[in-house]
Amino acid sequence: MTIRTARQDRVQHFRPRTHCLKKLEAMVVEMQDSKSGVKGSEQKLNVTTIPHVISGKDVIAWITNKMKNTTEDAQAFGTMLVAYGYIYPLQNHRKLVMCNDDSLYRFQTPYFWPTQKWFAEDIDYAIYLAKRNIRKKGMLEPYEQAHYNHLHEWLNHKWDFIVMQATEQYKAGKERKKPDRVVFDCQERAYWIVNRPPRRTHSALDVGPERLIDPNIDEKISFDQYRRMNMFYQQAIMRSKVKSSVSLGALVKYITTYKNHDPFLAPCLPSNPWQTDNDSYWTLNMRRVDVPTKMRVERWSFSLFELLSDLRGRDDFKIFLKKEFSGENLAFWEAAEELKLGTASSMSTKAETIFKTFLAPGAPRWINIDGRTMGLTVKGLDHPHRYVLEAAQTHVFLLMKKDTFFRYLKSPVYKDIQKKAQSPEAHNFSPAQLEQNAQSRSPGIHPMILWQQEEEEKAKAAAASAPVDVKAMMSKIDRKK
């Protein structure tokens, strides 16, 4: 029994992405018309004949005629009808596509249509699996068996009911005539393939979050709303905008640079972990890996922002800067980032250390920024807030970008790492191996371990980069003497 009074029914039941369903239903009903609808024929199984079978090409021809579009569009529309579950295929019931040939389909009964309000509940699925278990005498498909075991575990308190209901429904189903029984089995099976798809199949039922307002009702827009809309649009026209040639040019440049790095457009080497359940892509691209991948190194050359955002790239850049003895710019930039993103309580102490280390005249790591910015920053540091170093940080960033970055790209450090970078082979898993991968997924590294590593590295870096206390060094040397 689900608790109904605990959560109040605020009628948050409407799933807006599925509000096309009303129009689809109207179209499916039109297809039933005996004169102008899709022509059905009969299907002959061993001894029974079942009427109302339609062929794919008839459906697509009807859609082309009705919606006045091309065959490809009609085929896509037909596939969507199959994917949503209004029509189901009879041969090859797992593949929910509409083929433009003689393959046979049938309409689904209105009870099993996708609706905006009713979910395909787990308890119904459990009853269906139990019925299927009876029919198939225990030989369920592997994904069905996995679902069955899982449901048995968490719906255990209702399991008696599920078994009882399943056997009753099974017996009641036997009261119908043979062709109806066959049709009913096919209908139910099709419904559950749409609502509980097997592994690695695409599901069209991406419903999104539930909303309070019914998108199907017509909203009356009042006079005041129209007045405000007019004001908004008038102001929008007056605003100055970037020319589309400029913005489109920027977009084209972005696409040409990044198109090989997008996991949707280009294959992800070695394999996309979300698709093949093999996480070598993530382990190869971890934060502190010795040998980064070629794609990653290439990405560092796109802009200084990319180089600094990737922490492994930042490490590399630091090594280069150490060799050039000009690490203070990057150190200041990092310190300013920490101030921006850190806790409010540590802000004043951080601001003081930054001032002492980087900005005070005669500081150990004095950065070379212009006088005006320096003046503004020092004045702001009297009352430090999160963004007090913003101007100085931008200036330093621009310095690095215009000068150090290009030197880095031409440096032996970068060329060395380019040569060392590895390019992993693409995986080529067979379906059996994919199944194996899916079952042996590991939970990965615990975030606490990663955090501890980070802390250790930070402590080491802090110790290493502490300003050298000249007096202590001198006294050590003196003592040695």
Interaction with another protein in 179-238: which residues (CB under 8 A)? Answer: 179-187
CB of 45 to another protein, least distance (A): 5
Q: How many CB atoms lie within 10 A of CB 389?
A: 28
| 97 is a contact residue toward another protein (CB under 8 A) | no
Is 234:37 a contact under the CB 8 Å cutoff? Answer: no
CB of 212 to another protein, least distance (A): 20
CB of 109 to another protein, least distance (A): 5
CB of 130 to another protein, least distance (A): 5
Q: Which member of 45, 231, 265, 466 binds another protein (CB under 8 A)?
A: 45
| Residue keyed to tokens 């029994």 | 1
Q: Which member of 165, 280, 394, 433 binds another protein (CB under 8 A)?
A: 165
| 259 is a contact residue toward another protein (CB under 8 A) | no
CB of 39 to another protein, least distance (A): 10
Q: By CB under 8 A, what part of segment 107-146 binds another protein?
A: 107-112, 115, 118, 121, 123, 130-131, 133-138
Listed ranges 148-156, 348-356, 396-404, 461-469: which one lies at the site for another protein (CB under 8 A): 148-156
- Map residues 308-337 to x or -, x wherever contact with another protein holds by CB under 8 A: ------------------------------
| 164 is a contact residue toward another protein (CB under 8 A) | yes
CB of 127 to another protein, least distance (A): 9
| 172 is a contact residue toward another protein (CB under 8 A) | yes
| 148 is a contact residue toward another protein (CB under 8 A) | yes
Alpha carbon 69 to its chain centroid, in Å, reads: 33
Q: Is the C-alpha dihedral spanning 37, 41, 45, 49 positive or negative?
A: positive
| Residue keyed to tokens 């109806």 | 180
CB of 216 to another protein, least distance (A): 14
CB of 119 to another protein, least distance (A): 10
Find all residues with CB under 8 Å of 322, minimum gap 6, and list them.
Answer: none
| Residue keyed to tokens 């709303």 | 225
Torsion of CA 82, 83, 84, 88, to 10 degrees: 40
Distance, first Cα to last Cα, the chain: 87
Listed ranges 106-114, 221-229, 319-327, 417-425: which one lies at the site for another protein (CB under 8 A): 106-114
51 vs 342 by CB, closer to another protein? 51
Sheet with 104-107, strands from edge to edge, namely 41-44, 49-55, 104-107, 87-89
How many residues form the binding site for another protein (CB under 8 A)? 72
* Cα 111 from Cα 108, distance rounded (Å): 8
Q: By CB under 8 A, what part of segment 25-44 binds another protein?
A: 25, 28-30, 32-33, 40
118 vs 274 by CB, closer to another protein? 118
| 106 is a contact residue toward another protein (CB under 8 A) | yes
Torsion of CA 268, 270, 272, 277, to 10 degrees: 180
What stretch of H or E contains 465? helix 447-465
Find all residues with CB under 8 Å of 228, minimum gap 6, and list them.
Answer: none
Q: Which member of 101, 160, 425, 478 binds another protein (CB under 8 A)?
A: 160
Q: What is the DSSP string of 39-91?
A: PPEEEE-SS-EEEEEEEHHHHHHHHHHHHT--HHHHHHHHHHHHHHTSEEESS
Q: Which member of 36, 70, 71, 149 binds another protein (CB under 8 A)?
A: 149
| 53 is a contact residue toward another protein (CB under 8 A) | yes
